[in-house]
């Protein structure tokens, strides 16, 4: 062996290779293989490919070195050097040798012998050299090297083949076939083998087929998600947990693949463009899935794609919600299209999946959540009114998208600790900075976070404390929502509570009114929630937080004595508010009753405070009228008069607190010390005496005692009128409060009390009528009346007593006093309508229990039951027959109230509609129908009642027909029909009845017709396709109107005969058409291939002739405006001059629009110059019309001329001259606009025809 090696080495060092070749020819294959490891370089050198035995020896070297490198016996550097040398010599091998080596590789790959992959770098070089071979022996024939390469690639079926062919030149068809084959392999591979294979596949995508690669990867993981969901569903139904692929393993693999794809996108921007383009194009055919959403959010971390990704997601989310809404509202679309996939479920699944180490996705989820809430949250409309109010259930696509953003942020906060601080900080920042727009959705999110994870939030209590420092600068609604949201934290964090109290005390003395109101709101909230436990049982003596994570018993920390001292200290601070503005006092009065209900141990202090305040305005002398000092309730500052003390609200708060405390004591629910009980009893007795005295003297008082009568002035333009208006509102409010107090204290037993109530109402009604007649001295009064101070609970009780109460003879006699007054009955129902409307708009009502949704719902059910009973049992025709009073009938008011109630329940309590209908005890039959039946059956029962009422209206003839009642009935049917199941028999009956009514009704009432047709279309679209209905309706219309073809022909014939067909008429028509086309938009759409005609006509003429005229005209008009503002404002002009001046001002409003058009024209002209490489701006002078400039000489001359004119000619002549001048301005505006549009005649008219028009 040593002799052979030495011989080879010595021959290789000689100058020629002939001797080396002769010596190698004498060696056998075994000898060559035995010494190949050491001397294969020299063997290659001595084995020329021109002779067959040399090529065979080279092939032998390849066959020996490839397994040797794969075995791992050689060092990595040595194996790399060997492979590198073999790659250099590969292209010199003959075709049959290349084919042999390629087949060797393919066989080794198929059986899995290429595990280490050290020699796989040689395979692409072999395939490349093989593809360059012209012909190969294949079977009995020949085959080109390229065809042979294709067959080899087709036979590959291993994950290592990607690495092998990555550097091999492939045609588009070969690449597509290979990628499709690899993608099909995914289902056969182990899950852990997928990420490296996808990494190689992404590298291979640099050659092409990027769309195919991305679609295949996304489709694979989408199928895996669906498979796992089905397994979970089946496991839950069968109580067997079987998983083909563990969930955590799948999520980790998905996270790794997402990282690979994002890395590839960073390197290959074409891949990212293809990815985004493919998603945008196929979003309808192939919806998003949790994996693709996570991939999008990861790509959004790349700054250049951030805006594109989130805009795409926003559009996709809203489109999905809109499509789903439209599909649910149309039976035709439900049958035509498949069910929409819920995008919200997919995004929430992505949030849940991100818990498996998807840190690269979490930041995108946070951004997406805030983008959705910022973009689709409620917006501020005119005068601060919310354009899209929040309701208990999101309905519109914008509301659904906003709610989805909140869910994403809440779930992310719960699952990912690193982003909690960022989410909380951004929520609090939005509460502080978005003062001009509603932030209720962010408050709801903060409240959900607090309730879900209060102890987690305590870790970031410093951020909440910092927000407290801004309370005095925030809107009142934001402060109330924020404090209510963090209220559970105040019970377990003493430092947070102390920081809040310190801020509220500072805000109490703020110079800002809203700051003081915020302080009152905060203190009232603390009084409600920090209860004085007193002598309650120990099992009830804890303050617990309703939360899934914490139940904190803080009674040991905040004991009874500490809470009592704390609450009394707050009350002493609140008493200072009784000397502040009316708004601050009003907030205090509205909150005292809720404090008393939640913290009954404060009754003595609150009642004493109210008594002291009431005594300031009460006249103790029983003979003095009126009993209250109204002059002390107003204040004046210069000519302005405003209310200082809302006396009616003070009395209302006193009555409600007094009655509630009296009921509690009579029930024996509170046990106090004897001294406290005696003191409190004395306060109550004194308050009762004061209220009785006020009642008697208010009945005796006349309007003149309050300086109110029919001759009083109520105009808002004078201080006297404002003062009288305030007095009137206070008197009306006082009478309402006294009516409620006397009704409750009478307890149906005293007829005298009910007579007093009626007398109080008469005085209320008289003031109300005076306000309607005298408001604004002849101008029509606004339909918006002052808000009633009657509570919703009292309205419920009052209506029940008036319309449905059946009891003893004595009680009936008492109630008959009130029932005898038609005005009082209408007033009672009108107040109920007002409360229902307030509940619909704001979600709450004034007065006690108005903030409680459950109690409000209960009162709403009682009111609806009464209104329903009254309308169905006392028909409006019967009532109208014996009615002599003016105003709407009670039945019609009840029907209007029913419409408002059904609409309110649908909006505010959609999930409680079944309970609502069940509570409407209209009759024994109705209750039996409502109980134990589903929502469709309950709704159908009440629909039938309103159908009968509508049929009675339509069958009674035109004399007895009440259009407004019929419209209200149709509106109620439309609202109730939304709760019918479209697949139920009741729905079919409703459609059949509606079609019959529409066919048979022949009343010429436009509003009723529109209502019935709207009801028909809304029902029919939920039942089936509306094509047949529309076709039938078109036939009916045609049968009524007849053919119109002849009429159209006659008109066209007249036009053709009347037209002038001369050549000049054609020019005139084109001129009239083009003069109204804006020049800027024409330039924007102009193509790059411009003609010389366009440059000369449009650009040159507009720059040289039109633009200077416009600028001179603008300067002329502005100088005219300057001179028109002097003497006219110093003296009063006649009405004719004022009208002319107003008209001139309206005409000069066209000037800003003219300037804007000039600037747009210049902008598009500059862009067109850049694109066409032609300087189109050489004739243009850039606009300076918006610049602030003062011509001193012109100004001085104008002022001197103005002084001379004032001294030389009468005032009215000066005004007339300027009026004529301003009229000329208006006509000049039209002239300039017309000439500007004439410049567009560039290509249609001949140049000489255009130039014949004088630019002057």
Q: Assess whether pLDDT exceeds 70 at residue 1082.
A: no
- Compute the average pLDDT of residues 131-152: 70
Question: Which of 63-77, 87-101, 425-439, 745-759: highest mean pLDDT?
Answer: 425-439
Judge whether 572 lies within some domain.
Answer: no
The whole-angstrom separation of Cα 155 and Cα 337 is 42
Average pLDDT, the chain: 77
- Among the three residues 752, 782, 812, which one is the final residue of a domain in this structure? 782
Stronger pLDDT, 859 or 1097, i.e. the higher one: 859
Shared domain for 1089 and 1179, answered yes or no, is: yes
CA triple 158-163-166, angle to 5 deg? 120
CB of 898 closer than 8 Å to CB of 829? no
- Looking at the fold, whether 799 and 745 belong to one and the same domain comes out as no
Maximal C-alpha separation, the chain = 148
Rounded-to-integer distance, Cα 225 and Cα 257, Å: 15
* 594 plus 649 within the same structural domain: yes
Would residue 1060 count as lying in a domain?
A: no
The pTM of this model reads: 0.75
Tens digits of per-residue pLDDT, 267-292?
888 888 888 888 888 777 678 899 99
Percent of the chain having pLDDT more than 90? 22
Same-domain check for residues 138 and 254: no
Q: Pick the more confident residue, 817 or 4.
A: 817
Query: 71 or 1022: which carries more pLDDT confidence?
Result: 1022
Residue 24 lies in a domain: yes
- φ, ψ of residue 1014 to 5 degrees: the values are -60, -40
Task: Indicate if the pLDDT at residue 195 is higher than 80.
Answer: yes
Q: What is the pLDDT of residues 547-580, one digit of tens each?
A: 434 434 343 444 566 777 878 888 888 888 888 8
State pLDDT tens for residues 234-247. 765 555 455 567 88
Task: Judge if 504 and 619 occupy the same domain.
Answer: no
SS3 1032: helix
- Using alpha carbons, select from 395, 378, 377 the residue that is nearest to residue 387: 378
Q: What does the pLDDT read at residue 236?
A: 59
Mean of pLDDT values over 1169-1184: 71
Do 918 and 896 fall into the same domain?
A: yes
The residue that leads in pLDDT, 876 or 1020, is 1020
| CA distance linking residue 21 with residue 612, whole number of Å | 127
Domain membership flag for residue 316: yes
- 50 against 530, higher pLDDT: 530
Q: What is the mean pLDDT of residues 514-538?
A: 75
Contact predicate 974/899, CB 8 Å: no
Average pLDDT over residues 475-495: 88
Beta strands in 1077-1205 (DSSP E): none
User: Residue 77 pLDDT more than 60?
Assistant: yes
How does pLDDT run across 350-370, given as a tens digit for each residue?
999 999 888 889 999 999 999
> For position 799, what pLDDT does the model report?
92
Q: Whose CA is closest to 605, among 558, 567, 652?
A: 567
Model confidence band, residue 342 (pLDDT cutoffs 50, 70, 90): confident
Q: Which of 183, 199, 234 is the last residue of a domain?
A: 234
Q: Residue 258: what pLDDT?
A: 93
**Where does the pLDDT of residue 293 fall: very low under 50, low under 70, confident under 90, or very high at 90 and above?**
very high
Residue bearing the bigger pLDDT, 938 or 167: 938
Q: Is the pLDDT of residue 1192 over 80?
A: no
Q: Which residues contact 544 (CB under 8 A, 6 or more apart)?
A: 551, 552, 553
Comparison of pLDDT for 772 and 858, the residue scoring more? 858
Q: Which residue has the higher pLDDT, 1178 or 500?
A: 500
Range in 428-442, 806-820, 889-903, 1229-1243 the model is least confident about: 1229-1243
Give the pLDDT band of residue 794 (cuts 50, 70, 90).
very high
Is the per-residue pLDDT at 200 higher than 90?
A: no
Domain extent, residue 1222, equals: 1074-1251
Q: Decide if 162 contacts 197 (C-beta within 8 A).
A: yes
- Give 694's pLDDT tier (boundaries 50, 70, 90): very high
* 63 in a structural domain: yes
In this predicted model, what pLDDT tens digit does every residue of 939-950 receive, in sequence order? 999 999 999 999
Residue 649: pLDDT over 90: yes
Cis peptide before 626 (omega within 30 of 0): yes
Quick one: average pLDDT of 1025-1043?
85
Domain closes at, from 1025, 1044, 1065: 1025
Indicate if 821 and 845 belong to the same structural domain: yes
Q: Specify the pairing of strand 634-637 against strand 640-643.
A: antiparallel
Asked if residue 605 and residue 546 are part of one domain, the reply reads: no
pLDDT greater than 60 at residue 542 = no
Q: Is the pLDDT of residue 780 over 50?
A: no
Say if 575 falls within a structural domain: no
Q: How far apart are CA 668 and CA 256, in angstroms?
A: 68
Split at pLDDT 50, 70, 90, the class of 312 is very high
Instruction: Determine the pLDDT at residue 1102.
Output: 75
Residue 1114 lies in a domain: yes
**Which of 470-474, 676-680, 1078-1082 has the highest average model confidence (pLDDT)?**
470-474
CA 59 – CA 131 distance, rounded (Å): 18
Q: Please tell me the predicted confidence (pLDDT) of residue 292.
A: 92
Of the listed ranges 420-434, 562-576, 1049-1063, the one predicted with least confidence: 1049-1063
Residues 23 and 130 in one domain: yes
767 and 799 within one domain = no
Q: pLDDT value at position 1181?
A: 67
pLDDT digits (tens, 9 = 90+) for 42-51: 566 666 666 6
Residue 85 has pLDDT above 90, yes or no: no
Do 45 and 20 touch, CB atoms closer than 8 A? yes
The number of domains in the chain is 6
Specify the length of the chain in residues: 1256
Distance of CA 723 to the CA centre of its chain: 43
At residue 435's C-alpha, the angle toward residues 430 and 440, to 5°, is: 65
Model confidence at 162, pLDDT cuts 50, 70, 90, reads low
**Dist. CA 734–CA 586, nearest whole Å:** 15
189-193: long-range contacts at Cβ-Cβ below 8 A with a sequence spacing of 24 or more? 189/159, 191/245, 191/249, 191/250, 191/253, 192/249, 192/253, 193/159
The confidence score (pLDDT) of residue 704 equals 85
For residue 1042, what pLDDT band results from cuts at 50, 70 and 90?
confident
Report whether pLDDT(1232) > 60: no
Average confidence (pLDDT) over 892-910:
91
In a domain, 1004, yes or no: yes
Average pLDDT over residues 69-88: 75
Between CA 707 and CA 725 the distance in angstroms is 11
Check: CB of residue 126 under 8 Å from CB of residue 102: yes
Q: Is the pLDDT of residue 650 over 90?
A: yes
Cα dist. 763→702, 708, 731, 821 in Å?
8, 11, 9, 14
Q: Comparing C-alpha atoms, which of 625, 627, 646 is closest to residue 635?
A: 646
| Cβ(69)–Cβ(108) below 8 Å | no
User: Are both 201 and 271 inside the same structural domain?
Assistant: no
Residue 888 has pLDDT above 70, yes or no: yes
Residues 303, 200, single domain; the answer is no
């Amino acid at each position: 062996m040593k002799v052979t090696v030495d011989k080879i080495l010595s021959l290789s060092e000689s100058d020629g290779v002939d001797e080396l070749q002769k010596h190698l020819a004498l060696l056998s294959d075994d000898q060559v293989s035995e010494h190949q490891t050491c001397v294969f370089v020299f063997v290659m050198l001595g084995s020329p490919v021109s002779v067959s035995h040399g090529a065979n020896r080279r092939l032998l070297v390849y066959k020996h070195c490839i397994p040797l490198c794969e075995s791992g016996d050689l060092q990595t550097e040595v194996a790399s050097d060997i492979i590198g040398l073999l790659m250099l010599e590969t292209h010199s091998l003959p075709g049959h040798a290349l084919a042999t080596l390629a087949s060797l590789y393919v066989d080794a790959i198929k059986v899995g012998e290429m595990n280490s992959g050290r020699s796989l770098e040689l395979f692409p070089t072999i395939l490349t050299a093989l593809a360059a071979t012209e012909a190969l022996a294949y079977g009995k024939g020949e085959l080109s090297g390229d065809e042979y390469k294709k067959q080899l690639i087709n036979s590959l079926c291993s994950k290592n083949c990607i690495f092998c062919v990555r550097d091999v030149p492939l045609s588009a068809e070969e690449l597509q076939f290979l990628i499709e084959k690899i993608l099909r392999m995914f289902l056969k591979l182990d899950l852990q083998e997928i990420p490296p294979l996808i990494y190689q596949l992404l590298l291979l995508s640099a050659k092409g087929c990027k769309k195919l690669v991305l679609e295949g990867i996304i489709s694979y993981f989408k199928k895996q998600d669906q498979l796992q969901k089905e397994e979970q569903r089946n496991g839950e139904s069968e109580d067997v947990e079987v998983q083909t692929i563990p969930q955590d393993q799948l999520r980790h693999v998905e996270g790794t693949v997402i990282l690979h794809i994002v890395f590839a996108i960073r390197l290959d921007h074409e891949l990212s463009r293809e990815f985004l383009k493919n998603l945008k194009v196929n979003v309808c055919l192939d919806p998003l899935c949790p994996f693709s959403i996570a991939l999008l959010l990861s790509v959004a971390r790349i700054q250049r794609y951030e805006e594109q990704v989130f805009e795409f997601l926003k559009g996709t989310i809203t489109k999905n919600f809109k499509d789903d809404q439209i599909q649910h509202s149309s039976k035709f679309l439900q049958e035509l299209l498949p069910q929409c996939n819920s995008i919200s479920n997919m995004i929430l699944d992505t949030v849940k999946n991100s818990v498996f180490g998807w840190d690269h996705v979490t930041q995108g989820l946070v951004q997406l959540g805030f983008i959705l809430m910022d973009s689709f949250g409620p917006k501020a409309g005119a005068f601060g009114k919310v354009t899209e109010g929040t309701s208990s259930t999101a309905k519109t696509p914008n509301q659904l998208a906003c709610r989805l953003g909140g869910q994403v942020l809440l779930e992310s906060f719960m699952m990912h600790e690193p982003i909690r601080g960022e989410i909380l900080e951004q929520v609090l920042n939005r509460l502080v900075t978005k003062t001009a727009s509603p932030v209720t959705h962010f408050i709801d999110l903060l409240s959900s976070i607090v309730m879900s994870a209060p102890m987690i939030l305590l870790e970031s209590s410093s951020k909440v404390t910092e927000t407290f420092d801004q309370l005095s600068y925030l809107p009142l609604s934001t402060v109330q929502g924020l404090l209510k949201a963090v209220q559970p934290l105040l019970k377990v964090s003493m430092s947070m509570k102390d920081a809040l109290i310190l801020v509220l005390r500072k805000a109490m003395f703020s110079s800002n009114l809203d700051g003081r109101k915020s302080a009152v709101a905060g203190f009232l909230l603390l009084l409600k929630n920090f209860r004085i436990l007193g002598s309650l049982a120990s099992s009830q003596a804890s303050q617990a937080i309703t939360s899934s994570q914490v139940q904190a018993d803080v009674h040991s920390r905040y004991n009874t004595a500490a809470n009592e001292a704390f609450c009394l200290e707050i009350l002493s601070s609140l008493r200072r508010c009784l000397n502040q503005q009316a708004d601050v006092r009003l907030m205090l009065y509205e909150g005292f009753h809720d404090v008393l209900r939640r913290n009954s141990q404060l009754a003595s202090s609150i009642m004493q405070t109210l008594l002291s305040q009431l005594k300031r305005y009460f006249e103790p002398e029983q003979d003095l009228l009126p009993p209250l000092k109204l002059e002390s309730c107003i204040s004046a500052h210069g000519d302005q008069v405003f209310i200082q003390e809302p006396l009616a609200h003070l009395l209302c708060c006193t009555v409600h607190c007094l009655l509630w405390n009296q009921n509690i004591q009579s029930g024996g629910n509170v046990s106090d010390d004897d001294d406290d009980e005696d003191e409190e009893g004395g306060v109550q007795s004194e308050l009762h005496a004061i209220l009785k005295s006020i009642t008697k003297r208010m009945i005796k008082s006349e309007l003149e005692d309050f300086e109110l009568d029919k001759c009083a002035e109520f105009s808002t333009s004078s201080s006297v009128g404002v003062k009288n208006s305030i007095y009137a509102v206070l008197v009306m409010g006082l009478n309402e409060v006294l009516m409620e107090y006397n009704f409750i204290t009478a307890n149906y037993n005293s007829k005298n009390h009910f007579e007093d109530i009626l007398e109080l109402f008469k005085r209320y009604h008289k003031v109300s009528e005076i306000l309607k007649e005298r408001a604004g001295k002849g101008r029509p009064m606004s339909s918006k009346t002052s808000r009633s101070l009657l509570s919703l609970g009292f309205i419920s009780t009052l209506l029940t007593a008036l319309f449905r109460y059946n009891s003893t003879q004595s009680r009936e006699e008492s109630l008959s006093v009130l029932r005898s007054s038609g005005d009082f009955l209408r007033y009672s129902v009108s107040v109920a309508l007002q409360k229902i409307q307030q509940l619909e708009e704001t979600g709450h009502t004034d007065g006690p229990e108005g903030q409680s949704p459950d109690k409000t719902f209960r009162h709403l059910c009682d009111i609806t039951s009464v209104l329903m009973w009254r309308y169905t049992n006392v028909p409006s025709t019967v009532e109208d027959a014996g009615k002599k009073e003016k105003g709407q009938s009670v039945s019609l008011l009840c029907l209007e109230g029913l419409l408002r109630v059904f609409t309110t329940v649908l909006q505010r309590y959609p999930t409680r509609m079944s309970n609502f209908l069940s509570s409407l005890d209209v009759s024994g039959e109705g209750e039996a129908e409502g109980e134990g039946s589903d929502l469709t059956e309950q709704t159908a029962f009440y629909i039938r009642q309103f159908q009968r009422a509508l049929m009675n209206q339509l069958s009674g003839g035109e004399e007895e027909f009440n259009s407004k009642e019929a419209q209200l009935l149709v509106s109620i049917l439309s609202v109730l029909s939304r709760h019918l199941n479209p697949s139920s028999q009741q729905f079919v009956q409703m459609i059949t009845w509606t079609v019959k009514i529409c066919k048979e009704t022949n009343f010429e009432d436009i509003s009723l017709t529109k209502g019935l047709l709207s009801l028909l279309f809304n029902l029919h679209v939920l039942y089936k396709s509306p094509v047949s209905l529309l076709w039938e309706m078109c036939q009916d219309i045609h049968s009524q109107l007849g053919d119109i073809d002849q009429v159209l022909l006659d008109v066209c014939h007249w036009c053709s005969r009347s037209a002038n067909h001369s050549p000049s008429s054609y020019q005139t028509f084109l001129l009239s058409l083009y003069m109204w086309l804006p020049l800027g938009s024409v330039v924007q759409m102009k193509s790059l291939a411009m003609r010389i005609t366009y440059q000369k006509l449009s650009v040159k003429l507009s720059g040289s002739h039109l633009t200077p005229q416009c600028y001179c005209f603008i300067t002329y008009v502005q100088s005219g405006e300057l001179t028109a503002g002097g003497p006219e404002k110093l003296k009063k002009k006649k009405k004719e001059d004022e009208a002319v001046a107003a008209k001139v001002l309206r005409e000069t409003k066209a000037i800003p629009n003219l300037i804007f058009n000039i600037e747009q024209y210049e902008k598009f002209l500059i862009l067109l110059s850049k694109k066409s490489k032609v300087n189109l701006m050489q004739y243009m002078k850039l606009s300076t019309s918006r610049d602030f400039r003062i011509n001193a000489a012109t100004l001085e001359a104008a002022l001197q001329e103005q002084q001379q004119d004032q001294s030389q000619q009468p005032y009215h002549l000066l005004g007339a001259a300027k009026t004529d001048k301003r009229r000329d301005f208006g006509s000049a505006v039209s002239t300039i606009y017309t000439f500007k549009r004439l410049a567009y005649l560039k290509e249609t008219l001949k140049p000489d025809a255009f130039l014949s028009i004088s630019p002057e």
